[in-house]
Amino acid sequence: MKLIATIRALTKLLRGGCGSQIAEAALVMPIAFTMLLGIYWFGRAFNTYATITHAAREGARAAVTQSCASCNNLAPSAAYAAGFVTQALQASAVDPSQIIQYPATPSPTSCPGFTATCGSSSNITFCNHVQLTAANTGRPAACGVSVSFQYPYQFWLPFTSLNNQQLILTADVQMQGEY
């Protein structure tokens, strides 16, 4: 009698849904965890891209300002503008030593009355007195500066094909000069 009661209890336990919940959780949890890690790492990639674009914008802003009227309004050097890029990256805890040089467009078009000059400092490319590209605005192209560089970003997503993949983010900013 005791044996029959034990067998019935085991049969009832095996037919119940208690064990299936554990099995389902074991299947779903790694997928949910990988999705959460993916959201985090793609968010960090977007944050890093926004940071390097902001840093390039700061460098371009520094490059378009002229020195002084009594100094023939000389354009700031590439090293001067690179200092602003480096400061903006360091303020956001992004390592400026990882910057990869991104060359300027093959031959930037000079502004009327000026000669386009390109220089590099700390792997950051600066071009002064270049004609900026107007994106379907119908207005004539303006003169200004171009700042460009690249920055590597590494994903860490275990159990996926993106694990340890390196993505090269490009910052390319143009800003109208005050000539």
Q: Write out pLDDT tens, residues 49-82.
A: 999 999 999 999 988 886 666 666 666 778 888 9
Residue 39 is assigned to a structural domain of this protein: yes
Residue 25 is assigned to a structural domain of this protein: yes
Q: Write out pLDDT tens, residues 135-157.
A: 666 677 788 888 999 999 998 87
Quick one: pLDDT at residue 11? 75
pTM above 0.85?
no
Quick one: pLDDT at residue 97? 93
Number of domains in the chain: 1
Residue 3 is assigned to a structural domain of this protein: no
Q: How confident is the model at residue 89 (pLDDT cuts 50, 70, 90)?
A: very high
The range of the structural domain enclosing residue 56 comes to 19-176
Residue 23 is assigned to a structural domain of this protein: yes
Residue 66 is assigned to a structural domain of this protein: yes
Residue 12 is assigned to a structural domain of this protein: no
User: For the chain, what is the largest distance between any 2 Cα atoms, rounded to a whole number of angstroms?
Assistant: 110
Please check the confidence at residue 159 and state whether its pLDDT lies above 80: no
Residue 109 is assigned to a structural domain of this protein: yes
Sheet of strand 124-131: strand arrangement: 117-121, 124-131, 143-154, 166-176
Query: Out of 9-23, 37-51, 101-115, 139-153, which region has the weakest mean confidence (pLDDT)?
Result: 9-23
CA–CA separation, 90 vs 85, rounded Å?
9
Residue 142 is assigned to a structural domain of this protein: yes
